Chains A and B, each alone.
Chain A
Amino acid sequence: MQRRVWLKLGVASAAVLAVAGGTLALWPGPATGSRLSPAARPVMQAVGAAVLEGSLPAEGAARTAALAGLLARLDDLVAGLPPHAQRELAQLLQLLGTAPGRRWLAGVDAPWPEASITQVQAGLQGMRTSRLTLRRQAYQALHDLVAGAYFADPATWAQLGYPGPRSL
C-alpha cells in the first residue's frame, strides 16, 4: 500500500524505488497525519533553517521563536491539505526522517539536528536540479512548504517591504 502510493509521487529510478520501498517497509507507523509527526519535526527544522538562511533572524531567541513559528504554521498548512496530499507528505517526511532516506533522497550524511546549514543546502541544491523526478518533486514540496508557511506570518512582511493589506 505504502509502496503503491509512493509510486504516485513519480519515482524515476528503480534504485530510488528500492530504497524507498525498503525504508518504508522498516517503518510500520501510520503514514497519515493532519500535522507534522515527531520524526518530521527535525527534518523541517533543518530544512527550514537552510531554505530561510538570510531571511530568518541570525541568532538567539528571535531565531528560535521564528523556527518554532514556522513549524506551527506548517502544522496549520498540513491540516488544510486533503487526505491524499497529507498521506504523500507524511510519507516523504517519514522517508527523510530515516538515515537511508536522508542520505539518498536529500544527500545529507549527518543526522538532521547535527547537519550544518551548508550541508543541508548542498543536499537541497542537489535535489533541486537532480535528473530524478522524485528528488525534484521532493525539493519543490519542501521549498514551497517552508517559504509559504514562513511568509504567511505578518511579522516577516517588513523584510519583504510589504505593508500588509490596506485597512478598510
Chain B
Amino acid sequence: MSRIPDPIVQGLQRGWKVHGGPHAPLPETLQCDVAIIGTGAGAGVTAELLTQAGLKVVLVEEGPLRSSSDFRQLESVAYPALYQESAARKTADKAINILQGRCVGGSTVVNWTSSFRTPTATLDFWRARFGLADFDSDRLAPYFTQAEQRLHIGPWLTPPNENNDLLRRGAARLGIPAAAIARNVHGCWNLGSCGMGCPTNAKQSMLVTTLPAALDRGATLLVETRAERFELANGQVRALVATPLGGTGARQVRIRAAHYVLAAGAINSPAVLLRSQAPDPHGLLGRRTFLHPVVMSAATMPDKVEGWQGAPQTIYTDHFLETQPIDGPMGFKLEAPPLHPVIFASTVVGIGQEQAGLLRQFPHTHVLLALLRDGFHAESPGGRVRLRSDGSPELDYPLNDFVMEGARRALLAMAEIQFAAGARAVTPVHELGTPLADWPAAKQAIAALPMQPLLAKVVSAHVMGGCGMAADAARGVVAPDGTHWQIGNLSVHDGSIFPTSVGANPQLSIYGIVNRLAQGLAHRLTGRQVALGPPAA
C-alpha cells in the first residue's frame, strides 16, 4: 500500500472548514466577504490571493473532494468521480466529446500538466478586436512568472516517452520544429496517470497548492453543492443560492457576500448566469464558446510505444499555427496524448474483428492529436451555451465546413509526421478511416474522407469563452478587470472570459490572467497588495 502523505487528509485533520457530501452538514445560510463558485484554475488562484488579503472566502464546488489516497490510476474510478458527466459530456449534436473536470481542484486535478503562456499572437488579436489594451506579453509576464513559481512550472528534463518522442523524430525528419512542453509538476514519478488524478501529489494542481493555502487561512469549502443561481437586484448580486447534490428535497444554502467570483469553468459559468437571468443586453452570454476541437491520428509502429507510461504531452509543434495567419484558415497545435484502455477502446472506431484487430495493436499504437485554434475567423464563431428544461447546460457547437477543412489538413499533417517517424500504418480516427500503408496512400485517402460531424471523431479537453472579456459592453460580458459589465459586485475569473480560444493548452493562461485580475480585486476590496508567491517550504 501507498505511504504517500495526503495533504487533503492532513488538512481535514487540522480542522479545515469543509461542508457537504460526507463532510460537515451544510449550513442553511452563510455570510462572507467573497463567495467563489468553482475550485478550478481560476477559483484556486483567486482564493489564495483573497485570503492572503485577509478576506473571508467561501468556495462552492459541485464535485466531490477527492485526493491522492483516492487516486488509483483507474479510469473506471476516475471518470465518474472527477469529470463532468463521467467524462462523457457532449455537445448538443453529440459530435464532440468534452473532457472537463468536476471535483475539488476542477480540471487542474485531471489535466495532462501542459503549461504554455498565452501566445503573443492570441494577445495581439485580443487587443485589436476586443480592445484589451493591457493584455500584452510584457505586461502579463510578471503574473505568469509568479504563477510559474507558485506551481513549479518549468522545463521537463526527463526524456520524453516514446509516444512523444515519435512526434519529435517524425517532425525533425520533415524539418518541422518541435519543442518540449513545460509542466506543473514537482517530483514527478513519470507514471503517465495524470488524467486520473495524480497519486503522488507531484502535479501542482489547485488541489494541492492554492486551495490548501486558502483553507489554512480559514476559507470555507462547500463540496457536492451546485451553485444554482444568483439573486439579483439593482445591478447587484444579493445572494447565491446553492443546492446539495444527490438527496431529493435537500435544503438549499443561501450565501450572502459583498462580492462574488464566478469561476465554474466555461459552460458552467455562463449556465449559472443564464439560470440567474442575468442581464445580457447585447446577447453575448454563453456565445463564442470555444473548444479547440481535436482530431486524432493513430499509427502502428514497428516497435512498442506503450503510450500509457511516462509523462503525457511533453513534446509539441506549433508549426501549423505559426506558418499561417491567425485569422485565416484554421491552424492547429500537435501533441501526443496519454493512452489508457477505456479512452483508447472507446476512441478506436469500428466493431467486431476490425476493432479487435486495432485494439490488439495497443502497445504499438502511437497517437497524435491536433488542437484546432477556433475563434479567430468570422466562420469560427464557436458554440453557444443554453439551458435544458432541467436547468443543466448544453453546448451547441456546430462543426461547420470551416472547422472540418482545418480538421482534414490536421489529419494529413499528422499522418505525414507519423510515416516520417516510421509508422507501418496510419489510421485517421474517422468512421471511414482504414489503416493506410504509406504517405501517398494516406494523402489520397484523407483527401477523400467526408469530413462530417459524427464521422470524423472530434473531442475536446479545453472549454473557453461564453463570458467573453472586452473593453466595452457591446463586445463582452465582462470588463478587462474581470467585473461583469452589468453586475457591479460580480467578477468572472476562469477560462470563460477568453474572447477566443487560446491556441494553446489553457491552464497557464487562466492562472496568469486570473492572477492579475484577482490581485486587482483584492486591492479594490481591501486596499492591500497581494501576489502569488513561491510555495511555502
Contact = CB atoms under 8 A, between A and B. Distances in A.
Contact of B88 (A53, A85, A151, A161): A85
Contacts of A166: 73, 191, 309
Given A82-B85, A84-B394, 13 more contacts: A52-B356, A55-B359, A76-B80, A81-B88, A144-B346, A147-B348, A151-B359, A160-B362, A165-B72, A165-B73, A165-B193, A166-B73, A168-B199
Interface string A105-136: 00000000000010001001100110001001
B355 A129 contact: no
A38 interface: no
When A and B form their complex, which 10 residue pairs have the shortest distance between CB atoms, in order from nearest?
A54-B356, A165-B73, A80-B80, A152-B76, A151-B345, A136-B454, A80-B86, A161-B363, A148-B346, A147-B345
A77 interface: yes
Interface string B377-408: 00000000000101010100000000000000
Given A81-B88, A85-B88, A162 B362 contact: yes
12 contacts: A10-B93, A51-B352, A52-B356, A55-B356, A84-B388, A129-B431, A148-B343, A151-B341, A151-B344, A157-B341, A161-B360, A165-B193
Contacts, number: 126
Contacts of A70: none
A134 to B, nearest CB: 10
Nearest to B392: A84
A69 interface: no
Interface string A30-69: 0000000000000000000011111100000000000000
Interface string A1-30: 000000011100000000000000000000
Interface in B335-357: 340-346, 348-349, 351-353, 355-357
Tell me the interface secondary structure of chain A in the complex.
Answer: helix
A8 B388 CA distance: 10
Contacts of B308: 162
A152 B454 contact: no
A50 B352 contact: yes
Contact of A147 (B76, B97, B340, B355): B355
Nearest to B360: A159
A54 B355 contact: yes
Contacts of A168: 2, 4, 189, 199-200
A156 B94 CA distance: 28
Given A85-B88, A148-B346, A53 B351 contact: yes
Given A51-B351, A162-B362, A129 B85 contact: no
A121 B354 CA distance: 11
A152 B340 CA distance: 10
A128 B432 CA distance: 9
B357 A54 contact: yes
Nearest to B200: A168
A82 B2 CA distance: 32
A82 B80 CA distance: 10
Interface string B454-466: 1100000000000
Contacts of A162: 308, 340-341, 362-363
A51 B355 contact: yes
Nearest to B339: A162
A124 B191 CA distance: 37
B341 A160 contact: yes
B74 interface: yes
A98 interface: no
B11 to A, nearest CB: 21
Given A51-B351, A144-B346, A168-B200, A160 B94 contact: no
B92 interface: yes
B346 A147 contact: yes
B70 interface: no
Contacts of B191: 165-166
Contacts of B352: 50-54, 117, 121
Contacts of A147: 345-346, 348, 355
A13 to B, nearest CB: 14
- Among A53, A54, A81, A168, chain B packs the most CB atoms within 10 A around the CB of A168
Contacts of A121: 351-352
Contacts of A148: 342-343, 345-346
